[in-house]
Structure 1
Amino acid sequence: MLWACIRLPHLALDAVLRRVEDPARPLALVSGPAQLRSLHAVNDSAADAGLRPGMRLTAAHALCSDVALIEHDDTTESRCQRFLAAWAYRHSSLVSAQWSGAIVLEASASFRLFGPWPRFERRLRDELGVLGFRHRIALAPTPRAALVFAGLRDGYTLIDPDALAGTLDRVPVRRAALPDDAGERLHRMGVRTLQDARALPRDGLRRRFGVDLSGHLDRLYGEADDPLEWYQPPDHFDMRVELGYEVENHQALLFPLRRLVRDLAVYLSARDGGVQRFTMRLEHEQGHTDVPVGLLAAERDAALLMDIARNRLEQATIERPVVGLRLLAKELPPFVPVARDLFDTRPSQAVPWPQLRERLRARLGDDAVYRIAPSGDPRPERAWQRAGVDEDALCVRDAPVRPARPTWLLPQPVPLHAHGVRIVSGPERLESGWWDGDDVRRDYYVLETAQGQRAWAYADPGHRDGWMLHGWFA
């Protein structure tokens, strides 16, 4: 087995930068008690201005007065790590996020699907770049060795298990990701490398550092099984963006909404599912406003979900300022892609009917899109009925067998003022409606006018004059 480790050295900062509209502006995360506020992390623009992690807030303001300050939240960092574990789950069935700031996944079983490691690695990096997370990746025969190598050098690859021990022996103890502060303590004792640490008597090492260090070394070198905490995707999606300022219009919510919808699409792809209902929760200083979004079938296309969510949001009324946006999806049915013919002649830019239907419903309203279903009444005005777009059983029901009907049926019959008409077919007698007081008794004909138009008209039974036009054939 080969294990890939994705280290996320700037996870807390990236979690914030990916949701701000101008990530190039100087920005810093702050933490600490009210009287001792300090910088937890800074972006590149803030670093160019002289700001550094650990700097007091007063000194940071003196160096860069226009720096944007955001409160550091550990829960946001852990939430992003779980999200990335869900993303990694789409590439491997064995994923672990038990180490802070790192994702480990078994890679060798995925080579048959994604290609050899260089191609698989490029895929991981491209997707992480789109998601907005800086990273370091390494490959090794054990998960802990991959974690160590990712911290030493980005892109490090070790495939041969026989070379693992010799490579690890040269790793400095302070950079070997040993449990707690064991690496620093060993360095103060004069132990410089992992080879020196392994040469120490096991009993003495266990008495001084406990059993965790010995077990860690055995798992690091692959001499003992490593029971990792495997990631299991949750059965719901819940992501939140704190805006940091009050928003009173829909336009300012579109940027964070787009990021949340993209994350939802990644999550759905990881669990090979779709979403049929989700909720946009607009959080206020007091309370919240829910904007529900419902689809007729499970979908997971990010562009479609964003288009529908935007239209639903624009129809909502923002009565109070919004300080946070949350996306909740609890109903996640299986996703069944629409089947297409191998030799489909549809233009490449054409929108599939299910997606067009959802976009029309979101923009025009749920009642503006409907189907036409046949009824059992032979009267042309009542031969069809309106049905919902999801009433498949009603719409696929076999219609009564009838002769050809015109494409354009007039709302009400009108006299046909035409000379030289020719009867093409007919008559077709329709006699019905005695039970509801709207009794009709007509003989319908297909007529051709002198201009070549084909009309659907009727006359009184037994007569061939006094034509009443009821429709036109295409």
Structure 2
Amino acid sequence: MLWACILLPHLAMDSILRRRPDPATDTPLVLVEGPAQLRRLHSVNAAAAQAGLKAGMRLSAAHALMAKVETVDFDPREQARSQCLLANWAYRHSSLVSQQWPHAIVLEARASFRLFGPWPQFARRLRNELAALGFRHRLALAPTPRAAYVLAGLEDGLAIAHIERLQQVLDGVSVRRAHLPEDSGERLQRMGLRTLAALRALPRDALRRRFGAALLDHLDRLYGQADDPLDWYRPPDHFDARVEMGYEVESHMALLFPLRRLIGELCMSLSIRDGGVQHFVLRLEHEHGHSDVEVGLLAPEREQAMLFELARNRLERVAIDRPVVGVRLLARQLPPFVPAARDLFDPRPQQALDWPQLRERLRARLGDQAVYRVEPAGDPRPERAWRRASGDALAGGVQSAPARPPRPAWLLPQPVPLQGMARIISGPERLESGWWDDGDARRDYYVVETVHGQRAWAFQPAGVRDAGWMLHGWFG
């Protein structure tokens, strides 16, 4: 096996910057943590670093250097959500993904070469997608997952495919940068042991007595001399993501960027599960309470552009009566997705929409009840022989209408007297029904031709030959 490690040295700051429309801003931004009287900088953006601010600095010292600096409270949960998001993204490329170590994602890469190409091509794909997601990163490849984790911290892009070469490189690694358990690296450095080669030259029994078995286990797994059981990531069976605005929003336009980001994350989650979404909730969080925007589809979908447009149309129909401080997207059920069958050479114009997308767009703009289809019902009375239905499945009742004589394509809402009947083409067809619901109908239907050559569907009361003709429909 070959393992790729994606190291995320700026995970906390990137989690904040990626939710902003313009992350490459010149405004200094810092994340702060600690009690109110001992606030310290957790991380800083590029503009703050250029001004001399750095992680670990007291907030009071930072204000002494810069009077105008934007501060955001560091939230470990936000960082954990971002790492989980990246594990979800990595699951698209490999079935063996782990987020066991902080600020890192490890995935088995050799099996993915057959699909994505050799490592240089695969690494380029990973970098492009990570950049699109808004995360700065470092990449490394090694025969063991721990070695990939260590190498990613040493040099970005370092790739070692053979175990013999890996052992040579690891022997020169400083004990401080080998991610040894607890404070073993610092203690060994103070003892005069600088590299892993010097550490491995010591008797194992002496190391076990002084540092415990965890140090030896780490070395064996690092060098590939023992299996490394990792905590494997498994994608959840639902989707729940949130974006905190950081300021109060009172317009729909300002909500489009976080909405686009959330829809993108939803579609990424759907792609790794090979599933779709048929219903989700866009929750607008206020200072007190929240407002829900329901988005429902007639069939599972997962195309990002369509889902974003549907959610945007639904959102624009909702009045924002209170400032929004956060946006959350929840999808409790992720049913399987079956893409529509298409021809190999699709004859549709490039800008044309297929029917499911057009249908959902119309429902989002006009309302759920404005778009429907017609399906047969079990009632033989023409005015009740069909019903409205939503979606692609039958609403219930009969699966198909029973065989009947030809019916007109144009059925009038109410029968009207027929003038100018020339001759009878076929009939009669006796219809007696509706005695149970006060809609009793007893009619003899005929296909007739008018004096103008039109073919009509008309009836007379059952058994009455000299009554007037009533027109009920026209044939094409």
Partner of 1:445: 448
SS of residue in 1 equivalent to 2:388: strand
**Given the superposition, is the C-alpha separation of residues 217 and 448 from structure 1 closer, same or farther in structure 2, using an over 3 Å criterion?**
farther
SS of residue in 2 equivalent to 1:159: coil
- In structure 1, what is the Cα distance between the partners aligned to 2:205 and 2:232? 31
Partner of 2:13: 13
Structure 1, residues 152-182: CA drift from partner, whole Å, max 9, x if none? 1111110112212111111222222222232
One-letter amino acid matched to 2:325? V
Contact 1:426 1:444 in 2 (8 A): yes
Partner of 1:389: 391
Q: In the TM superposition, what is the alpha-carbon distance from 1:98 to its structure 2 partner?
A: 0.7
One-letter amino acid matched to 1:309? A
SS of residue in 1 equivalent to 2:391: coil
Q: In the TM superposition, what is the alpha-carbon distance from 1:264 to its structure 2 partner?
A: 1.4
**Given the superposition, is the C-alpha separation of residues 145 and 446 from structure 1 closer, same or farther in structure 2, using an over 3 Å criterion?**
farther
Contact 1:448 1:455 in 2 (8 A): no
SS of residue in 1 equivalent to 2:159: coil
Q: How does 1:340-379 map to 2 (within 5 A)?
A: 340-376=342-378
Q: In the TM superposition, what is the alpha-carbon distance from 1:206 to its structure 2 partner?
A: 2.6
- In structure 2, what is the Cα distance between the partners aligned to 1:412 and 1:197? 95
Partner of 1:300: 302
One-letter amino acid matched to 2:134? G
Structure 1, residues 437-459: CA drift from partner, whole Å, max 9, x if none? 55555533356958xxx654658
Partner of 2:260: 258
Q: How does 1:60-99 map to 2 (within 5 A)?
A: 60-99=62-101
**Given the superposition, is the C-alpha separation of residues 201 and 378 from structure 1 closer, same or farther in structure 2, using an over 3 Å criterion?**
closer
- In structure 2, what is the Cα distance between the partners aligned to 1:22 and 1:358? 31
SS of residue in 1 equivalent to 2:19: coil
Partner of 1:398: 400
Structure 1, residues 13-50: CA drift from partner, whole Å, max 9, x if none? 11111101221222221222212323222222333344
Q: In the TM superposition, what is the alpha-carbon distance from 1:462 to its structure 2 partner?
A: 7.8
Partner of 1:189: 191
User: TM-score under structure 2 normalisation?
Assistant: 0.87
Counterpart of 1:160 (choices 146, 159, 162) is 162
One-letter amino acid matched to 2:109? A
One-letter amino acid matched to 1:163? R
> How many residue pairs were aligned?
467
- In structure 1, what is the Cα distance between the partners aligned to 2:417 and 2:347? 43
SS of residue in 1 equivalent to 2:284: strand
Structure 1, residues 308-363: CA drift from partner, whole Å, max 9, x if none? 22233333344433222222222122222223344543334332323333332232
**Given the superposition, is the C-alpha separation of residues 281 and 366 from structure 1 closer, same or farther in structure 2, using an over 3 Å criterion?**
same
Partner of 2:175: 173
SS of residue in 1 equivalent to 2:340: coil
- In structure 2, what is the Cα distance between the partners aligned to 1:467 and 1:286? 63
Partner of 2:151: 149
Contact 2:9 2:103 in 1 (8 A): yes
In the alignment, structure 1 residue 426 sits paired with structure 2 residue 429? no
SS of residue in 1 equivalent to 2:148: helix
Partner of 1:315: 317
What is the root-mean-square deviation in Å for CA atoms of aligned residues? 3.1
Structure 1, residues 102-123: CA drift from partner, whole Å, max 9, x if none? 0111111222222222222122
- In structure 2, what is the Cα distance between the partners aligned to 1:422 and 1:162? 99
Contact 1:24 1:45 in 2 (8 A): no
Contact 2:221 2:228 in 1 (8 A): yes
Counterpart of 2:230 (choices 228, 231, 235) is 228
- In structure 2, what is the Cα distance between the partners aligned to 1:275 and 1:415? 51
Contact 2:376 2:387 in 1 (8 A): yes
Deviates more, 1:101-110 or 1:183-192: 183-192
Q: In the TM superposition, what is the alpha-carbon distance from 1:3 to its structure 2 partner?
A: 0.6
Contact 2:96 2:233 in 1 (8 A): yes
Partner of 2:293: 291
Structure 1, residues 389-438: CA drift from partner, whole Å, max 9, x if none? 354265983334456555444445668899xx998x92454554674355
- In structure 2, what is the Cα distance between the partners aligned to 1:385 and 1:328? 33
**Given the superposition, is the C-alpha separation of residues 447 and 39 from structure 1 closer, same or farther in structure 2, using an over 3 Å criterion?**
farther
Q: In the TM superposition, what is the alpha-carbon distance from 1:187 to its structure 2 partner?
A: 2.2
Contact 2:4 2:109 in 1 (8 A): yes
- In structure 2, what is the Cα distance between the partners aligned to 1:377 and 1:132? 59
- In structure 2, what is the Cα distance between the partners aligned to 1:321 and 1:302? 27
Contact 2:251 2:320 in 1 (8 A): yes
Contact 2:146 2:222 in 1 (8 A): yes
SS of residue in 2 equivalent to 1:278: strand
**Given the superposition, is the C-alpha separation of residues 363 and 204 from structure 1 closer, same or farther in structure 2, using an over 3 Å criterion?**
same
Contact 1:29 1:69 in 2 (8 A): yes
In the alignment, structure 1 residue 275 sits paired with structure 2 residue 277? yes
Percent identity among equivalent residues?
62
- Structure 2 gaps of 5+ residues are none
SS of residue in 1 equivalent to 2:246: strand
Contact 1:248 1:320 in 2 (8 A): yes
- In structure 2, what is the Cα distance between the partners aligned to 1:279 and 1:372? 28
Contact 1:280 1:290 in 2 (8 A): yes
Deviates more, 1:162-171 or 1:405-414: 405-414
One-letter amino acid matched to 2:334? L
One-letter amino acid matched to 1:103? I
- In structure 2, what is the Cα distance between the partners aligned to 1:250 and 1:329? 21
- In structure 2, what is the Cα distance between the partners aligned to 1:89 and 1:126? 16
Contact 1:412 1:470 in 2 (8 A): no
Contact 1:165 1:221 in 2 (8 A): yes
One-letter amino acid matched to 1:5? C
SS of residue in 2 equivalent to 1:331: coil
One-letter amino acid matched to 2:35? P
Partner of 1:24: 24
